[in-house]
A = this chain, B = another copy of it.
Amino acid sequence: MGNTFSEFELYSQLKNQDTKLWDKYVYHPFVCQIGAGTLAKECFQRYLGQDYLFLIHFARAYGLAAYKSDNIDDIRVAANAMISIIDKEISLHLEYCHSWGLYKDYLEALDELTATIAYTRYVLEKGLQGDLVDLFVALAPCIIGYSEIGTRLANDPNTNLDNNPYSSWIAMYSGEEYQQVARQHAEMLDKLWAERAGKERLSKIRETFSQAVRLEVNFWQMGLNGNL
């Protein structure tokens, strides 16, 4: 049930190193309440607003990835991801936010909450301190994790899809287009790993991945409880 990306070696290894932590993320009450359709509207709205701010730093992260690349193919992967965020995801997100009563002016005036700052700046700074491997590892729990969450919710018999205000959110992250994005990220992880790393580096990479997962857990928690 759900796409676990088990065919990708590095990602699988990182995800499975601490399944308790991973489950805190992918089975977070915020996620479960989305599946059940019971999440309070203001929690989802808070999450959506911060996610808008997140997307801006996410696009910047791909700009950084392009800069950090040393060949045209890797630059192209990053450039396409960035263009897709800038030209498509942000517009879709704005429309979606609009449908939840959050207008552009409101979104642009929002303060960034601590959970948002912590995750986005952790990823960017890790990528600047380290190399492309570090950057892609720090991004992985978000990019690939959302696709795992999306497909699981879409396929879970407990999920309430018919009468659920969050069904379009589930559809987006379980959709083939998003799965493609996640798969490409997992592929890049294995490719970069083969080029720039080795088992010696695994312990540092593991710390980065776990920290990023913890910050994603906080991000859901912020949705539930406000600034955390």
Contact = CB atoms under 8 A, between A and B. Distances in A.
Interface string A58-70: 0111111111111
Band of interface residues on A = 35 or more
Interface string A186-212: 000000011111111100100000010
A69 to B, nearest CB: 7
Interface in A40-96: 56, 59-72, 75-76, 78-80, 82-83, 86-87, 90
A131 B35 CA distance: 41
Contacts of A128: 124-125, 128
A122 B117 contact: yes
Nearest to A133: B131
A86 B82 contact: no
Determine the main DSSP class of A at the interface with B: helix
A224 to B, nearest CB: 14
A218 interface: yes
A63 to B, nearest CB: 3
Contacts of A90: 72
Interface of A: 56, 59-72, 75-76, 78-80, 82-83, 86-87, 90, 111-112, 114-115, 117-118, 121-122, 124-125, 128-131, 134, 193-201, 204, 211, 214-215, 218, 227-228
30 contacts: A56-B72, A59-B72, A60-B66, A60-B69, A61-B67, A63-B63, A63-B64, A63-B78, A64-B64, A64-B66, A66-B66, A67-B124, A68-B129, A70-B129, A72-B86, A80-B83, A112-B211, A117-B118, A117-B122, A118-B121, A121-B122, A125-B125, A128-B128, A129-B131, A130-B131, A193-B200, A196-B200, A197-B197, A198-B198, A228-B228
